[in-house]
Amino acid sequence: MDPIRVDVTHDRAAYPVLISPGLSRHLPGLLHAQGVTSQCLVVSAPPIWRLHGARFRRLPGAGARPALLPDGERAKTLDSIDRLYTECVRRRLDRSATIVAVGGGVVGDVAGFAAATYLRGIRIVHVPTTLLAQVDSAIGGKVGVNLPAGKNLVGAFHPPALVVCDPQFLQTLPPREFRSGLYEVVKYGVISSPSLFDTLETSLSAVLARDMDRLTRVIAECCRIKASVVMADEREAGPRRVLNFGHTIGHALEAITKYRRFRHGEAIGHGMLAAAHLSALRGLLTAADEARLAGLIGAMGALPRVTDLSIADALDVVARDKKVVRGQLHFVLARGLGATEIVTDVTRRDLQAAMRHLGMKP
Q: Are 27 and 89 in a shared domain?
A: yes
Is the distance from CB of 91 to CB of 122 less than 8 angstroms?
A: no
Q: Are 14 and 7 in contact (CB under 8 A)?
A: yes
pLDDT at res. 201: 96
Whether residues 19 and 114 fall in one domain: yes
* Alpha carbons 265 and 180: distance in angstroms, whole number: 4
pLDDT < 50: residue spans in the chain: none
Residue-wise pLDDT for 152-165, tens only, equals: 889 999 999 999 99
Nearest residue to 126 (alpha-carbon basis) of 67, 185, 221, 43: 43
Show which residues are catalytic.
Answer: 120, 142, 184, 226, 236, 240, 244, 247, 251, 264
Per residue in 275-317, pLDDT (tens digit) is 999 999 999 999 999 999 999 999 999 999 999 999 999 999 9
CATH of the domain at 223: 1.20.1090.10
Could you tell me if 131 and 191 lie in one domain?
no
Say yes or no: 60 and 96 in one domain: yes
Residue 275 contacts residue 332 (beta carbons within 8 Å)? yes
Q: Are residues 127 and 268 in the same domain?
A: no
Rounded Cα gap, residues 182 and 206, in angstroms: 13
- Pair 45, 159 in one domain: yes
Quote the CA–CA distance of 20 and 82 in Å, as a whole number.
Answer: 34
Where does a domain end: 119, 144, 172? 172
Q: Given this model, what pLDDT does residue 202 score? A: 96
The secondary structure of the chain in percent helix, strand, coil, rounded to multiples of 5, reads: 50, 15, 30
Contact 129, 92 (CB under 8 A): no
pLDDT at 38: 83
pLDDT of 343 reads 95
Same domain, 26 and 160: yes
Work out the number of other CB atoms within 10 angstroms of the CB of residue 292: 18
pLDDT of 61 reads 67
CATH number, residue 19: 3.40.50.1970
Residues 160, 185, single domain; the answer is no
Whether residues 48 and 189 share a domain: the answer is: no
Residue 319 to residues 18, 264, 313, 356, Cα–Cα distance (Å): 38, 20, 10, 18
Number of separate domains in the chain: 2
- The region that residue 347 occupies, defined by phi over 0 for left and psi between -120 and 50 for alpha, beta otherwise, is beta
Clarify whether residues 311 and 239 are in a common domain: yes
Which DSSP state fits 11?
S
Of the residues 172, 205, 236, the one at which a domain ends? 172
- How many CB atoms are closer than 10 A to CB 278? 22
Task: Give the per-residue pLDDT at 234.
Answer: 78
| Residue ranges making up the domain that contains 194 | 176-358
DSSP assignment of 139-185, as one string? Answer: SS-EEEEEETTEEEEEEEE---SEEEE-GGGGGGS-HHHHHHHHHHH
Same domain for 88 and 200: no
Q: Is residue 157 located within the same domain as residue 252?
A: no
The residue from 122, 143, 172 where one domain ends is: 172
